[in-house]
Chains A and B, each alone.
Chain A
Amino acid sequence: MYWPIDLIVLTFVIFCAIAAIVVKDLLATAILFGAYSFMMCLLWAVMGAVDVAFTEASVGAGVSTVFFVAAIFRTSRRTKD
């Protein structure tokens, strides 16, 4: 594995994390959070943790996002920060 690839993905991960907590629309947060999880999954796959990456892809990027959207559907999208 080449460390530049790793570094680029890590930068993306941090970018997604900051964006997810800064953006002012919770639905956007949900999607950015899904992207974050998927980037994370990519990172772990690159590091050879295939089982963990598989789990994160199905849980973090999949089911968690669905729970998230469901909860937003039942609460509200608006947020002040």
Chain B
Amino acid sequence: MDNYPVLIVVAPLLAALLAGFAAWIEERLSYPIALLGLAVSTFAAFEVLMQVIFFGPIRYEMAGWPPPMGIEYRIDLLNAMVLLIVSGIAFLNLLASYESVNQEIGDRTGSFYSIYCLFVTGLLGVTATGDLFNLYVLIEITSLTSYAMVAMGDRDRGALASLNYVFIGVIGASFYLLGVGYLYIQTGSLNMTDVAIILQDYHGSSTVLTAFVLCMVGVWIKMAFFPLHAWLPNAYSYSPVVFLRVVAPLMTKVMIYVMIRLMITVFGFNYIFKTLNFADAVVILATVAIIFGGVMALAQKNLKKMLAYIIISEIGYMVGGVWMGNQLGMTGAILHILNDALMTFAVFLGVGNIIYQLKDVDFSNLGGLFGKMPWTMAGFVLAAFSIIGIPPTCGFFSKWYLIMGAFEKGAYHFAIALIISSLICAVLFFRVFEICFFPSSSQDNKQKDVHAPGKIEEAPVSMLIVSGFVSLSLIVVGLFSGTIVNMIILPFLT
């Protein structure tokens, strides 16, 4: 069918609306509706990826108007891959979260599913669109839903964390909008490819430079790149775990995608790396981000917060890889979008299962988890290995490309930072394993009665199956890294 590209975005939106209806009429229907919508979206994304791989990029003209006048969806290999990641992870997460939603959200699950679908719609739309302003509107949908979700989690501190997130999020989105305005005044167009063609004549213009800086700062705020990261740890650690499992792997990765898209498609590598010369500064900033994230993670006493700082460090990997400006670095960064999404998802699935049983992931509560939740912890360990970068898992391969890219460019500090960061991750995770392995002595007596050692108290089966599936896929993706690079990333870059 020709309409698959738009179906990817429309199906979750339709599901969100119907779930919103169902919330008022028959609340139990919301869950299957949302699940169905995301399943359709995933299927369409898969079909689109296949079409793009075998027949080349797809263009879809909204309302039948040709591109510079109308809005167009332009799906090439990079889009198609990110679309499949986003819809797939959102679908799998929803599959695993029926019980935890009931536990955490309680009396308004229908509206929750509706907002969840809207969030996914926003992410998918951001990824698929070929229009600069459409991108802004969809970023706002994702932001608004995240504000609501963050405040839903922790009853006490959620609202304040969310309000601070609103301020920073609005500044980020507005900077992006200003950047688009500066581009528009110089080019008169909003379509990405059209803008790129016109921009070739304006490389020396101060307006274009300002537009580029504004767009980048806006996107960096949204992805929590190093000096602009302050909102992320609080916002993530107070949001409900169901939402955390989808926002942590996807939001930052989609923003990285937006950065790559702006750099490659709109401004062009020639402009960024030949005309301008602050690529080195950004790589240094990324290096600082990696080290800073790792060091801050060492200081945390809560699993959620620790993972939040690891995410900041991972953002540094990808931004650094992209700004390396050579093919190896870019390959590593794009491969890392896939790998990092998968492994963050896997690790947060583990966290979700633990929270489902324990309500809390302070390190002091985690004692004896290997005995209590063996399957969950098996998945968690695999994900952790991948984040550290131990060979058969996928995390190793993208790091390898990134390090190779750094050597080619001569950015040795970046390569060293990557290795240090891997060591820090190893320390972090083995510390967690150690805590989880031995039953903690500090547990009070009441808890000891309930959680007698050796007694297995696992999370619900649906959560375990998804967790196992994703953890195994880490190895599978790792083994097929070469295929992915050859079929998707290299054809895209050349």
Direct contact of A and B (CB under 8 A): no
A interface list, Cβ under 8 A from B: none
